[in-house]
A and B are shown apart, each in its own frame.
Chain A
Amino acid sequence: AQSVTQPDIHITVSEGASLELRCNYSYGATPYLFWYVQSPGQGLQLLLKYFSGDTLVQGIKGFEAEFKRSQSSFNLRKPSVHWSDAAEYFCAVGATGGGNKLTFGTGTQLKVEL
């Protein structure tokens, strides 16, 4: 069965600083991977996804993520954080042929200091 680990429960960065949120997955075959963002009391908004091909994927709001098979990682990055990026970020893995069955990590709460 697949699993996702987000090692950082909380992260605080200053506005304008760079950001990296870590995500490690466990899955026997080639996974497909997502990052979602959730603002308080809201649903999940898709930031980016990786299915195959180029291991560096670009998303919305200036986010990018890199798939590293050797490290079983899919870390999310942003070069310069804005105060509006404060939210909870979830990494999720889907199984090949697994349809909509995503397995989520426990999330990383991002706080941005002005």
Chain B
Amino acid sequence: DAGVTQSPTHLIKTRGQQVTLRCSPKSGHDTVSWYQQALGQGPQFIFQYYEEEERQRGNFPDRFSGHQFPNYSSELNVNALLLGDSALYLCASSLGVLRNTIYFGEGSWLTVV
């Protein structure tokens, strides 16, 4: 049973560039959320996708956008990268949007220079 998989695992971008991170949810899951974890902090909720629509959004600017595909996989896009966007980006999946167990991937480490 494949868990949540994310790619790439590490990447380095230059300030002002754009980045796309990818996530495949755990088998059988249809809901994907993205979190940002800065060094030394707990994860912060970015947004959630269900049925290919953004359902909830945290306190992140519009530079952060996403997409969910019919196979439930998801992308996180960040435009006009800032140094402060350097973080571990975690994808989480679950079945539905109600109370359910939430599983996380290993994350994508983004460094902005």
Contact = CB atoms under 8 A, between A and B. Distances in A.
A105 B41 CA distance: 8
Interface stretch (A14-22, A43-51, A70-78, A79-87): A43-51
A46 B109 CA distance: 20
Interface string B25-49: 0000001110100000111110010
B99 A36 contact: no
Output the residue of A44, A46, A102, A107 with the most chain B CB within 10 A: A44
Output the residue of A34, A51, A99, A104 with the most chain B CB within 10 A: A99
Given A90-B42, A104-B42, A107-B42, A99 B101 contact: no
Contacts of A103: 45
Question: What is the interface of chain B mostly: helix, strand, loop, or mixed?
Answer: strand
B43 A104 contact: yes
B99 A51 contact: yes
23 contacts: A34-B102, A36-B104, A41-B109, A43-B4, A43-B105, A44-B90, A46-B101, A46-B103, A51-B99, A90-B42, A94-B99, A94-B102, A98-B56, A100-B32, A100-B48, A101-B48, A101-B56, A101-B58, A102-B45, A104-B42, A104-B44, A106-B41, A107-B42
